[in-house]
Amino acid sequence: MLVIGKIKYDNMLFEKKYKTHSVEVNKNNNFFEIKTYLNWDIFTDLVIKVFSIEEERHFINVFIRKIFNTNEFKIFGSSFEYFDFCHSNSIEPKEQSWFNTIFYQGDLSSLKFNFELKSISFQELYFSSEDTFENKEIRYSITFPESDNLKTDSKRLKNTLEENNVSKLYHFTDITNLKSIFDKGGLYSWSFLKNKTVRNTFASTNLSKELDSRRGLENYVRLSFNSTQPMMHKAIYDGRISHPVIIEIDPSVIFLKETLFSDRNATDKNAIIGSSYEDLNRINLNIAKRDNYFNLDDNDKSLFQAEVLVHEKIRTEFFLNLAKLKQYLN
């Protein structure tokens, strides 16, 4: 679950607390940057049924949109939109900030008037005992995203991740692929890219693709539990990639219904692959997360290469190191 700790700015102008939320305002180039935080009771009520960080951010973002619901405030619908805005306006973007960051262009007195008016009006409606249409709209119209694409045992999967301190998954690619990844809004399987005739520098070999096809895995994006994958070093050695970059992925992709788990490299003939809680728990996470691959025996080297396979695509909203990846494009 996302930790909603506050970022303290050296150039913060002021902060203000309301019954439903608090704001911190600082100056950033030609804009006022407003960080909005939900009060704890409201936050916990809002996300109590949420399985993934993506959903959590979605709810916080929707709630904030209900407070500052005019065009004077620039609010973002995705991390991609936030980073594009920042780069276009020479603003240094911050990781994991798109969902509760607002920008305002104008003078300080008009900003104070506008967000004070919006904030007080919202909190009074939210806590009003009257059963009006406006009150219902504020309290109850924040609906969960469609959960049809989530696994039924997501809670148990989440517990496994927390118990084993799995906070990130990893995917490596060549730096030349980043522009295409951002242009298309995410990572796609090699089969999807091939069918769409998208030019790409593939790290996988033809044999690997053939083995994928035999097992029906050609339309999956591969993720590992460790950033130091031997397959990356082999791809560099063979000349398939020349400048690798690591994409850090939110582990909540594990909750997606079509996500698979393999207890070793999925092309290994001995790999056991499935989509259930039991399949995830078959993975030896203690070995898969080690940083000493070359000191392991042959069996443990196989287990080290355990994989998470996400069907077809992983949107950029799941990227945890988006700002760093964006810098490679400059």
The pLDDT value recorded for residue 133 is: 40
Query: For the chain, what are the domain ranges?
Result: 12-140, 154-327
Spatial neighbors of 312 by CB under 8 A, at least 6 apart, are 188, 189, 192, 219, 220, 221
Q: What are phi and psi of 101, to 5 degrees?
A: -110, 135
Q: What gap in Å lies between CA 206 and CA 310, rounded to an integer? A: 20
Report the candidate in 223, 224, 1, 31 with the shortest Cα–Cα distance to residue 96. 1
Spatial neighbors of 14 by CB under 8 A, at least 6 apart, are 24, 25
- pLDDT in single tens digits along all 330 residues of the chain: 333 444 444 567 888 888 888 999 998 888 999 999 988 888 877 766 566 677 788 888 888 888 888 888 999 988 878 888 888 888 888 878 889 999 999 888 888 888 888 888 777 777 765 544 444 444 444 333 345 677 888 888 888 988 998 989 999 888 888 888 888 888 898 888 888 767 777 777 677 778 878 888 899 999 999 988 878 877 887 777 778 889 999 888 898 889 999 999 998 999 999 999 999 999 999 999 998 888 889 999 999 999 999 999 998 878 888 878 888 876
The pLDDT value recorded for residue 147 is: 53
Report the candidate in 140, 139, 150 with the shortest Cα–Cα distance to residue 50. 150
The pLDDT value recorded for residue 194 is: 81
Cα 89-73-120 angle, rounded to 5 deg: 145
The pLDDT value recorded for residue 304 is: 93
